[in-house]
A and B are shown apart, each in its own frame.
Chain A
Amino acid sequence: MVEALGIDIKEMLFAVANFLILIAVLTKFLYKPFLANLENRKQSIQDAFDNAEAVNKRADEKMSAYNKRIANVEQEAREILKDAKMKADRQASQIVDEANEKASLMLQKAEAEIERQKILAVEEAKEQIAMLAVMAAEKIIEKELDASGQTQLIDNILKEAGASGWQN
């Protein structure tokens, strides 16, 4: 029956042997290295992705830190500017106040000086007028008076002049 079906143990064993040899060779040279290579590649791609994600995260963190710092710097600059402006304003008003004070002081001084000069001038004028009056009186009366008589006369004249408001 086995022969009638064409079954030949030798041929069967041949097929089995060929197949087993093929399994051994293909496993060694094809399946193992190729599957390992595919697995390695998958791993390296996964690693690259993970790495990229980590780098992105770090970059984001740095970026937000910089942004925060920039915002702080702007705030600081605004404050510095504000301080400087306030200082300048204060200084300016101080300078103006000082100047005003100085000016008023100078004015007061000048007024006082003018007053002093005025008084001096009036004194001088009084003296001159007195001299002139004496000379005029001499000429008019054409006679000499003694020293005490002279002084008395002058005083009288002056008194009269003061009473008539001449001084002003």
Chain B
Amino acid sequence: MIEKLHSIGISNAMITSTVITLILCAVAVIGGRRIESVPSSKLQNALEAGIEKLYRFFEDIMGEYACRRYFPVVATLFIYILVCNYSGLLPMAGHFPGLAAPTSSINFPMGLAVVVFFATQIVGIRESHGPRFFKHLFQPFAFLFPIMLVEQFVRPLSLTLRLYGNVFGEEAVVSSFFDMVPLGLPLPMQALSILMGFVQALVFSLLAAIYIGEAAHTAEHL
């Protein structure tokens, strides 16, 4: 069946990312099905604690207003990237058919970075009620416009390369260690990649939060 999917151009990363999406959706539906004001289920407790921590974290970065409106985008970025990174830690990830960390393929981070790029522009336009938002490219001085423009396009590129480079590099190192000494040697690297997976998810969503928050606030000051 996997071969069939491969034959129609569905890659392992696409399969894994779809499975992850389905699992996360299932967790959300099960967890959000019955919410009690005095929680008795461990799942609700865990989800509440996680969501509140994330909300407070992004609230500090984006400000209260922007966080209230755009929290779903940045929070989902963090959760999705985190789970995708950790999917690379599963046994035989990258070798087993249909299982590969989506973030180790350049297309996945690039897709997310493009979403962040468009989200930033849309938020800016929405908050300033029109294309007035692009005036910020000419501030503080009009002659800085080319640099400001380049900055806007460098952002998704840097997001893409940072995430892809880290995950791909880590996987490459683990795999070459595995080739040298299969037992034991890849372990320290795998332990490090637990940390790395978290940090990369955090950095990606943090930068996205900064860009979106900035767009929301820039609109205020135009």
**A residues with CB within 8 A of B:** 5-16, 18-23, 25-31, 33-35, 37-38, 40-41, 44
Tell me whether B75 is interfacial, beta carbon within 8 Å.
yes
Q: Give B contacts to A, CB under 8 Å.
A: 9, 11, 13-14, 17-18, 20-21, 24-25, 28-29, 31-33, 35, 37, 47-48, 51-52, 55, 71-73, 75-77, 79-80, 102, 105-108, 110-112, 114-115
State whether B37 touches A6 (Cβ < 8 A): no
- Measured in the bound complex, the distance between the Cα atoms of B168 and A5 in whole Å is 13
- Write out the residue numbers on chain A whose beta carbons fall within 8 Å of the beta carbon of B77: 19
Compute how far the CA of A26 lies from the CA of B29 in the bound complex, rounded to whole angstroms.
8
CB contact between A35 and one of B18, B51, B112 (< 8 Å): that residue: B51
Complex Cα–Cα for A26 and B25 (A): 7
Q: Which residues of A contact B111 (CB under 8 A)?
A: 11-16, 19
Q: Which residues of B contact A10 (CB under 8 A)?
A: 9
Q: Which residues of B contact A28 (CB under 8 A)?
A: 28, 32
A145 to B187, CA, bound (A): 179
Task: Report yes or no: B105 in contact with A33, Cβ–Cβ below 8 A.
Answer: no
Please list the 5 inter-chain residue pairs (A to B) with the smallest Cβ-Cβ separation, ordered nearest first.
A15-B111, A29-B32, A11-B107, A29-B28, A12-B111
Q: How far is the CB of A45 from chain B (nearest CB, A)?
A: 10
Q: How far is the CB of A24 from chain B (nearest CB, A)?
A: 9
Given A22-B80, A25-B25, A26-B28: A31 in contact with B75 (beta carbons within 8 A): yes
Whether A41 pairs with B9 at a CB distance below 8 angstroms is no
* A35-B80 in contact given A16-B114, A16-B115 (Cβ < 8 Å): no
Indicate if the CB atoms of B108 and A38 lie closer than 8 Å.
no
- Is the CB–CB distance between B17 and A15 below 8 Å? yes
Query: Given A6-B105, A25-B25, is A19 in contact with B48 using a C-beta cutoff of 8 Å?
Result: no
Closest Cβ–Cβ distance, residue B121 to chain A (whole Å): 15
